Amino acid sequence: MSLVIRLTSMGKKGERRFRVVVAEKRSRRDGRPVEALGWYEKGPAGKKAINTERAKYWISQGARASATVEKLINA
Question: Is residue 15 scored above 80 in pLDDT?
Answer: yes
Section 46-52 average pLDDT: 90
Cβ(6)–Cβ(23) below 8 Å: yes
At 60, the pLDDT band (50, 70, 90 cuts) reads very high
pLDDT number for residue 70:
94
Higher pLDDT, 13 or 7: 7
Walk me through the domains of the chain, giving residue ranges and CATH numbers: 3-74 (3.30.1320.10)
**What's the mean pLDDT in 51-67?**
94
For residue 50, give the nearest of 62, 61, 66 by alpha carbon.
66
d(CA 47, CA 25): 26
